């Protein structure tokens, strides 16, 4: 993974509540809004910052898209806000970014929560979907239903298709992508690669969907070697979007971890 530093991208974020700081990082093709119900629920005890990562949501677009740059962006944001130490929660791509940040800057992370992802390599299962999005002729789209119909052959999973299409927005000239689609396309293989983690003592919670294969049981011993103070909670009826499938289950696990002994 390249180590060359780059100028951080200014990140858009929303703040909920007051108290000890908790930063939430969304997954690929997501944005802060995906986690707003969880952020609002946790705002009774925490100052929750739900962040748009580079090339997503309302944050800036820049290349490359890799975990080193995502960490640089987050470090820049925490410095801007005067937050020397935070609890950090990340889902999927955001979970990998959170793990690398905790590994690189353990003094900045009070507790780490990783949702449905591990530090190892994962298969590039969304390569076909990304290529389909890049190939979508936006001039042929006059309404979202058009885009859904055109993408259906390449992305037959309706839930995934609708999730991806949340990144399509109207503009005076027609529809446009809110995400940095070409940056995602070029960075995708790297985002799927294993993280070069040294390991450390940060208390960590891994929240996994019981119907997801993102962090199989066989990979858990390797995770514990990297994060020896890690524990795992499996949400039985949830898939990869654990927080959407079982929000109460995720909230219960996260609260117990954040409010309990390290």
Which residue numbers are catalytic?
92, 182, 240
φ, ψ at 51 (rounded to 5°): -110, 140
Whether residue 189 has a cis bond before it, omega within 30° of 0: no
- Bridge partners of 236? none
Which alpha helices (DSSP H) does the chain contain, by range? 36-42, 67-81, 93-104, 127-135, 144-151, 158-165, 181-192, 220-226, 242-245, 247-259
Cα of first residue to Cα of last residue in the chain, in angstroms, is 31
Residues 6+ apart with CB under 8 A from 32: 12, 13, 14, 24, 26, 39, 50, 51, 52, 57
DSSP 62-128: -S--SHHHHHHHHHHHHHHHT-SSEEEEEETHHHHHHHHHHHH-GGGEEEEEEES--SS----TTHH
CB 13 within 8 A of CB 50: yes
């Amino acid at each position: 993974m390249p180590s060359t530093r780059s100028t951080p991208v200014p990140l858009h974020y929303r703040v909920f509540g007051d108290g000890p700081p908790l930063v939430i990082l969304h997954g690929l093709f997501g944005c802060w809004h995906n986690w707003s119900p969880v952020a609002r629920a946790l705002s009774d005890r925490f100052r929750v910052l739900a962040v748009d990562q580079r090339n997503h949501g309302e944050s800036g677009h820049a290349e490359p898209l890799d975990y080193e740059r995502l960490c640089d962006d987050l470090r820049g944001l925490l410095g801007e806000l005067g937050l020397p130490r935070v609890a950090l929660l990340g889902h999927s791509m955001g979970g990998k970014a959170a793990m690398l940040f905790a590994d690189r800057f353990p003094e900045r992370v009070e507790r780490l929560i990783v949702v449905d992802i591990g530090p190892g390599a994962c298969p590039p299962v969304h390569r076909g979907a990304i290529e389909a999005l890049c190939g979508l002729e936006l001039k042929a789209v006059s309404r979202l239903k058009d885009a859904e119909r055109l993408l259906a052959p390449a992305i037959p999973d309706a839930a995934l298709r609708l999730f991806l299409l949340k990144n399509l927005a109207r503009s005076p000239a027609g529809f446009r992508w809110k995400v940095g689609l070409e940056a995602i396309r070029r960075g995708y293989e790297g985002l799927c690669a294993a993280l070069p983690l040294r390991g450390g003592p940060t208390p960590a919670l891994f929240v996994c969907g019981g119907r997801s294969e993102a962090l199989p049981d066989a990979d858990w011993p390797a995770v514990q070697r990297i994060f020896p103070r890690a524990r795992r909670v499996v949400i039985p009826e949830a898939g990869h979007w654990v927080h959407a499938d079982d929000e109460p289950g995720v909230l219960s696990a996260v609260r117990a971890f954040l409010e309990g002994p390290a």
